[in-house]
A and B are shown apart, each in its own frame.
Chain A
Amino acid sequence: MSEATATIDPEKLSEEEKQIVRPALVLNKRTMGWISSYISSIIEAKTPLWWYISMGVTVPLTLLCFFCLAYLIATGVGVWGNNHPVGWAWDITNFVFWIGIGHAGTLISAILFLTRQKWRTSINRAAEAMTLFAVVCAGIYPALHVGRVWMAWFLAPVPNSNAIWQNFRSPLLWDVFAVSTYFTVSILFWYTGLIPDLATIRDRCTTKIKKFIYGVLALGWRGGNRQWRHYEMAYLILAGLSTPLVLSVHSVVSFDFATSVIPGWHTTIFPPYFVAGAIFGGFAMVLTIMIPACAVYKPLSDLVTVGHVDKMCKVILLTGSIVGYAYLMELFIAWYGANPYEKAAFWYRAFGPYWWAYWSMMFCNVVAPQFFWFKFFRTNLIWVWIIVQFPNMGMWFERFVIIATTLARDFTPSAWGMFHPTWVDICTFVGTFGLFTTLFLLFIRFLPMICMFEVKAVLPEADPHHGEAHH
């Protein structure tokens, strides 16, 4: 123990002094009743006008996405701009982009749970919901990219009349298992966390239909300690399972590239670099949606405080710097490895026809987050919201740089080519933002967006020894 902390004897502190040593997680001394009433009132109140206006924008975009998908299925995968040599383009870029966004939700709900970071309690529900919706958007792309989507069941290991089995040594099949496991476990984790809060909504319901729906969804939860005992064990183990899972998912996604022999993809740095990038981009998306949500529901800022935003900005700064290190290390290895194809691949990334994508990525992911060294930028919500848009864009550019620019410059110049997105590419991508936002709007309208029971449990009076001397 260092000298500075050794001089503070926690037993001699008064209750007020303890608050200085460890600031309260919930501001303004909100009570348990207030937490339930306020969070539930968001669901119980009349639907606000802004919600209809937002849905008026996002629902047509969602329909645009569905239209593009229907058009693709009816016409063929050639309606996208993918062609030789760029066989993977916006579709896989968007897939990796969306799945990466999901990772922040699992990180907040699982890794911060295991490391006893109690501040996570007020943001984990919304972040987990974001995970699910992002994975929904991500799943669209590989499913449609197979071309004949009605044959997608070939991915599942079921006996078929040709007696053919899947190639389990292929990273693409690993990806099928990783992403579907991730989606399933994320739903289970999210729903498990929702059960006690759905019971709160059930017990407050006034109309019979609502009472029935929330009653069924709450599964008959009573909050007995004999239930909490198994519940907490299940939650702890789910967190323990999700932690290696989230790290494995983006590692497996990176194997899609790293196990190939394409220069610029065939590198061992990919798994950690992809995971750090996913957390980086995901936290940016959590802030992008939570800051406006708290601006609409102002009292929420007693639960999601500036302290939370400050901590998330620090995570963005850390992971952004890891990503920056990975970019530089890639360049170094390209030079030091003395492989002319590898050198050429990185030369074309920075100075080839897609130079603008490379330098946009560098600026957005490496330079822009450096503002978060300064407390002013981490605590001013408007600045935070502006700055986190750079990681959001930068992480999309990163995947585009890795995928499209690498493929555009094949081994022999005769096979070179450029990728140009079609209107279907563009509309599908824009449409997935509509789908993501629509699902999120439905979520905040019908489900408690803050985990009420966990926030109550971090209040000082939740401690059964509250106000007693330490022993």
Chain B
Amino acid sequence: MNVVGNQSAPIHGIAAEFQSAKELYRAAEKIRDAGFKHWDVFSPFPIHGMDEAMGLGRSILGKLIFIGGLTGFLTAVTLQFGTSSFLYPLIVAGKPTNLFTVPAFFPIMFELTILASAFTAVFGMLIMNGLPRLNHALFNWDRFKKVTEDKFFAAIESSDPKFSPVAVRELLESVGGTNVTLIHGE
């Protein structure tokens, strides 16, 4: 088995290379069935159905974005009624009964809902993915650079309770992985 990275650093995990989305998908199903928890598959593009193959549920990002959108909406409500109806009551077109209007305030409620939702979507996604970060142990492996081009990888981390170098190596080889490599790094 190849070894990469600074060997005085702890073991990050063991990774293997695959040649196609189909191979990676089959391998993911088998790793899932072997009961591993801290592992991931890497691909140049999102593979349809991979969440099921890995046994992952639906991303909870949608629920976070709902909360973000609600925050934006309430900001707009507070901002518009607070200023136009209370702090600086502004009578427009000689219609004092319009002081608590809703239709005229609707466009900004809509815009701020969208704005806060979009911020939550992007920054929520980055935070849940542990990004941005400048380096990662996997980047110690030169072949891994091809993951953004046309190669596919699976990696099982040493933090997994079922991790043992020999068993993981055998598993990755049995599911069709090549260039199985032990990766050191923080």
Chain B hits for A466, CB < 8 A: 20-22
CB distance from A260 to the nearest CB of B (A): 12
Bound Cα distance from A33 to B20, whole angstroms: 12
Q: Does B46 contact A (CB under 8 A)?
A: yes
The tally of CB-CB contacts under 8 A between chains A and B is 216
Indicate the member of B61, B121, B126, B136 with the most A CB atoms within 10 Å. Answer: B121
CB distance from B108 to the nearest CB of A (A): 5
For window 87-144 of chain B, which residues contact chain A by CB distance below 8 Å?
87-88, 90, 92, 98, 101, 104-105, 107-108, 110-112, 114-115, 117-119, 121-122, 124-126, 128-129, 131-136, 138-139
Bound Cα distance from A39 to B129, whole angstroms: 26
Chain B hits for A189, CB < 8 A: 118
Q: Does A248 contact B (CB under 8 A)?
A: yes
**Given A31-B150, A192-B122, A237-B65, A169:B98 Cβ within 8 A:** yes
Chain B hits for A178, CB < 8 A: 107, 111
Indicate the member of A196, A232, A252, A464 with the most B CB atoms within 10 Å. Answer: A464
Chain B hits for A227, CB < 8 A: 129, 131
Interface string of A32-72 (1 = CB under 8 A from B): 11001100000000000000000000000000000000000
Is B56's CB under 8 angstroms from A224's CB?
A: no
Q: Which one, B4-12, B36-44, B169-177, B178-186, is touching chain A?
A: B36-44
**Given A238-B122, A464-B50, A223:B147 Cβ within 8 A:** yes
Is B121's CB under 8 angstroms from A241's CB?
A: yes
Is A464's CB under 8 angstroms from B25's CB?
A: yes
Query: Is chain B's binding surface mostly helix, strand, loop or mixed?
Result: helix
Is B110's CB under 8 angstroms from A200's CB?
A: no
Is B121's CB under 8 angstroms from A222's CB?
A: no
Q: Does B2 contact A (CB under 8 A)?
A: no
Bound Cα distance from A31 to B44, whole angstroms: 13
Q: Which one, A262-270, A297-305, A398-406, A452-460, is touching chain B?
A: A452-460
Candidates B49, B50, B88, B148; contact of A196 at CB < 8 Å:
B148
Bound Cα distance from A230 to B128, whole angstroms: 7
Interface string of A247-264 (1 = CB under 8 A from B): 010001001000000000
Chain A hits for B138, CB < 8 A: 222
Is B45's CB under 8 angstroms from A454's CB?
A: yes
Candidates A31, A33, A230, A456; contact of B129 at CB < 8 Å:
A230
Q: Which one, A212-220, A318-326, A378-386, is touching chain B?
A: A212-220
Is B118's CB under 8 angstroms from A185's CB?
A: yes
Q: Does A3 contact B (CB under 8 A)?
A: no
Indicate the member of A164, A229, A255 with the most B CB atoms within 10 Å. Answer: A229
Chain A hits for B150, CB < 8 A: 31-33, 36, 456
Is B121's CB under 8 angstroms from A203's CB?
A: no
**Given A165-B90, A168-B104, A203-B149, A185:B46 Cβ within 8 A:** no
CB distance from A266 to the nearest CB of B (A): 14
Specify the chain B residue showing the minimal Cβ separation from A197.
B148
Specify the chain B residue showing the minimal Cβ separation from A162.
B88
Q: Does B24 contact A (CB under 8 A)?
A: yes
Q: Does B84 contact A (CB under 8 A)?
A: yes
Size category of the A interface is 35 or more
Interface string of B76-90 (1 = CB under 8 A from A): 000110011001101
Please report the total number of B residues contacting A with Cβ < 8 Å: 69
Q: Does A19 contact B (CB under 8 A)?
A: no
Bound Cα distance from A467 to B44, whole angstroms: 20
Is B149's CB under 8 angstroms from A157's CB?
A: no
Candidates A33, A37, A174, A234; contact of B108 at CB < 8 Å:
A174
Specify the chain A residue showing the minimal Cβ separation from B89.
A165
Interface string of A430-459 (1 = CB under 8 A from B): 000000000000000000000011101100
Chain B hits for A452, CB < 8 A: 44
Is A464's CB under 8 angstroms from B121's CB?
A: no
CB distance from B41 to the nearest CB of A (A): 5
Is B149's CB under 8 angstroms from A36's CB?
A: yes
Chain B hits for A454, CB < 8 A: 45
Q: Does A184 contact B (CB under 8 A)?
A: yes
Candidates A169, A204, A234; contact of B124 at CB < 8 Å:
A234
Which B residues contact A (CB, under 8 angstroms)? 20-22, 24-25, 28, 40-51, 53-54, 56, 58-59, 61-62, 65, 79-80, 83-84, 87-88, 90, 92, 98, 101, 104-105, 107-108, 110-112, 114-115, 117-119, 121-122, 124-126, 128-129, 131-136, 138-139, 145-150
Which A residues contact B (CB, under 8 angstroms)? 31-33, 36-37, 157, 163-171, 173-174, 177-178, 181, 184-185, 188-189, 191-192, 196, 199-200, 202-204, 215-216, 219-234, 237-238, 241-242, 244-245, 248, 252, 255, 452-454, 456-457, 461-467
Extra contacts besides A169-B101, A169-B105, A452-B44 (4): CB < 8 Å: A36-B148, A178-B107, A192-B125, A454-B45
In the assembled complex, 15 residue pairs joining A and B whose CB atoms fall closer than 8 Å, in A order, are A163-B87, A165-B88, A169-B98, A181-B111, A220-B132, A220-B136, A223-B148, A229-B46, A230-B59, A238-B122, A245-B111, A245-B114, A248-B110, A456-B44, A462-B47
